[in-house]
Structure formats: C-alpha cells, structure tokens
Amino acid sequence: MVNLDDPVIQGLLLNLVGEEGMNVVINMPEEEITDDGVAEITNVPLNIVRRTLYILFENRLATYRRERNKDSGWLTYLWKIDLNGINELLKAETEKFIRNITTKLEFENNNMFYVCKNNCGRFVFDIVAELEFLCPNCGEDVVFEDNELVKQTLKKRINELT
C-alpha cells in the first residue's frame, strides 16, 4: 500500500493532477467506481475527475474496465486507482530531473554570465559582447557574474539524487 502521507509522493501526485485531482486520489474508494460516482463522492466537477483519472491512467496509476449495458448499449467505465507503480514513476521523474540539472550544469560550465545593474536579467557573454556590454532591455552596463556557487549547488544536488 502506498503511503499518501509521504511528502514526496504527495508532491509527485500534486504535480501530476493538481489540488482538485489530489482530492480525487485521496477520496477514491478502493472498489471500482464510475467517474460520476467519484464526482459525487468527492464534490469535484466531473470534467476534473475525468482529467485526473486519465492522467493517472496515462501514468499507470489507475485502471478501468468497460461494461456494456445490454439494454441501451451504452458503455460504462469502472475506474480503480492502483498506486503500486508510483515508485517506478518517481524513479523516472527523478532521472528526468537529474538529466535536466546535468544539462543546466553543462550550460553553466560552458558560459560566462553578466547581469544588469537594474536586475533586468542574466545574459551570456555572446549576447552582451555584441551589445558592447550593455543590457539588451534597459541599456545600462552589465557586470560579470561569478557562477561558481551556482555550479557547486547543481553538482551537490546531482550527487544527492544519484
């Protein structure tokens, strides 16, 4: 059973489905239920319930079963949340995050940065060199920024996650 009180799991689910979606996840019964039933139980609008269930399904955290009504021919979808795959999703998201941080570190290592005195932004050398070291936004002088602390922070974060 997945611990929904775990802040890491909560954060992952919150990023996936948002606050209203979390209400769906937390209050979803263990047995199969229709999306209408979930909306009724959770007081979450039906379109949000459906969006949440589809997101969970796409991430292999929910399943559904179709039933055809013999009289009307209508299909009914019965949903069930299965969060057993959340650790695999968390691992994949962590790996993606590490790749993004590594890319950011490479960018920091391969560039020199300048910042505007008026805090308009942070610019790479190539941009400000073409503009004679003037801010492209306000025209004020830009000054060199030592990014060693940024690089150390990124390296530390990568080491923590690997």
Residue 13 within a domain: yes
Alpha-carbon gap, residue 83 to 22, rounded angstroms:
13
133: which DSSP letter? S
| pLDDT of 5 | 83
Which residues make Cβ contacts (< 8 Å) with residue 28, sequence separation at least 6? 38, 41, 42, 79, 81
Residue 2 within a domain: no
Q: Are residues 108 and 147 in contact, defined by beta-carbon separation less than 8 angstroms?
A: yes
| pLDDT of 162 | 85
Residue 1 within a domain: no
H/E stretch holding 114 reads strand 113-116
Both 63 and 93 in a single domain?
A: no
Q: Are residues 1 and 22 in contact, defined by beta-carbon separation less than 8 angstroms?
A: no
Strands ordered across the beta sheet of 113-116: 122-124, 113-116, 142-145
Both 106 and 68 in a single domain?
A: no
* Overall pTM surpassing 0.85 (yes/no): no
Q: Are residues 65 and 78 in contact, defined by beta-carbon separation less than 8 angstroms?
A: yes
The residue whose two tokens read 């505007």 is 116
| pLDDT of 1 | 65
Both 49 and 105 in a single domain?
A: no
CATH of residue 56: 1.10.10.10
Number of domains in the chain: 2
| pLDDT of 69 | 85
Q: Which parts of the chain register pLDDT below 50?
A: none
Q: Are residues 116 and 142 in contact, defined by beta-carbon separation less than 8 angstroms?
A: yes
Residue finishing a domain among 64, 81, 98: 81
